[in-house]
Amino acid sequence: MTNNKIVLLTGSSRGLGRATAKNIAAFNEPITLLATSRKAENLNLKGTHKDTIIEYPQLDILDKASIDSLYNDIVKKYGRVDVLINNAGSTFEESDNSTFGPEAVKKTFDLNYYAVVNTIEKFIPIIPAGGRVVNLSSQASHQADFPNADLKARIFDNKLTIPQLNALAKEYESASNNTDGSDGWLKDGFYPAYGTSKAFVNFLTACEARAHPEIKFNALCPGTCATELASGLPEALKTKTADEGTRLILRLGFGDIDNVNGKFWAGRSTADTGPGHVIENWSGGEITWDYKNNEVPTALFTSSAK
């Protein structure tokens, strides 16, 4: 076994994941970084500390067998994971809401929510007390304000369990068959399936923190970064580099978080590069947009998302 801090990062092959891997490798402390991706891509990173180890295991978080295989390998080789960063995620709808429906919701939730649940639940047994789990979320989750009173009461129940949350996710998938918003589910606006999936990541983070208070679980929005995931946004909104987007990820994984657990963090605007702060009432909250050179786009929505 090693004295290095064992860090497991998902989705490391591009965008924020790649930048996160690079910045963790630059730490001047002994780290064993497991920078995973579906194709086990070698990022050719060099650790700053002489004892840092960087590996590139294969992991497809959509495949439970792949999760199980990596878990078994880590147990045999290292016996634990000190920091788990659930970075992998994407969107499968156009930002102008033209493709919202059951197919987009299922694909989005499979990757952004269920895969995160499966990864966390598998690795929790080997995350020691004091370990950290960092979940990538988004301020797009603010749109999910759940105006239906019955739904709001159920989803904000402070005794909500993960099986109950999973059942609510299935309910949303069924509700996406129609555009009637009286049921309280988000079906329009800015990437509604994506925003709702990230709201579920926030709820999952709180559920896990209640169930495992010895581990620090936190979720975050990295801001609007110039990465492939932001391809559907107007250029004026891409106000942060990928490196700048990793700052809050690194704080929640390794920095001072004042013992906070189960919360959603973000900057004070989409371009804020500061240390971030906890947003208590994120559901239905306003998003403070920033623009390059104060060039406000004529439309927030485009039809070039991937």
**Domain of 219: which CATH number?**
3.40.50.720
Q: Range of 23's domain?
A: 5-294
Between CA 272 and CA 279, with CA 275 as vertex, the angle to 5 degrees is: 80
130 part of a folded domain: yes
pLDDT score, position 233: 62
Q: Would you tell me how many other CB atoms lie within 10 Å of the CB of residue 118?
A: 17
**Are 14 and 43 contacting, i.e. CB atoms less than 8 angstroms apart?**
no
235 part of a folded domain: yes
Q: What is the pLDDT along the chain (306 residues), one digit of tens a residue?
A: 789 999 999 999 999 999 999 999 999 999 999 999 999 999 999 999 999 999 999 999 999 999 999 999 999 999 999 999 999 998 888 766 778 999 999 999 999 999 999 999 999 999 999 999 999 999 889 999 999 999 999 999 999 999 999 999 999 999 999 988 899 999 998 889 999 999 999 999 999 999 999 999 999 999 776 566 555 565 555 568 889 999 999 999 999 999 999 999 998 877 788 889 999 999 988 766 565 555 544 444 433 332
pLDDT score, position 91: 84
pTM score: 0.91
Residue 87 corresponds to which tokens in the numbers above?
């970075």
pLDDT score, position 300: 45
pLDDT score, position 35: 98
108 part of a folded domain: yes
pLDDT score, position 274: 83
Beta-ladder partners of 240: 225
Exposed e or buried b per residue across 150-183, where buried means at least 16 C-beta atoms within 10 angstroms of its C-beta: ebeebbeeeebebeebbebbeebbebbeeeeeeb
Report d(CA 8, CA 133) in Å as an integer: 10
305 part of a folded domain: no
Exposed e or buried b per residue across 19-49, where buried means at least 16 C-beta atoms within 10 angstroms of its C-beta: bbbbbbbebeeebbbbbbbbeeeebebebee
Of 267, 274, 252, 277, the closest CA to residue 85 belongs to 252
Q: Compute the residue count for the chain.
A: 306
pLDDT score, position 302: 39
**Are 229 and 242 contacting, i.e. CB atoms less than 8 angstroms apart?**
no
pLDDT score, position 203: 98
Report d(CA 160, CA 146) in Å as an integer: 16
Number of domains observed in the structure of the chain = 1
Residue whose tokens read 């942060």: 240
Report d(CA 81, CA 84) in Å as an integer: 7
114 part of a folded domain: yes
pLDDT score, position 86: 98
* Cα 248 to Cα 18, 25, 135, 189, distances in angstroms: 15, 16, 11, 26
Task: Name 36's Cβ contacts closer than 8 Å, sequence gap at least 6.
Answer: 8, 9, 10, 11, 12, 56, 57, 58, 59, 70
26 part of a folded domain: yes
22 part of a folded domain: yes
299 part of a folded domain: no
Report d(CA 182, CA 197) in Å as an integer: 19
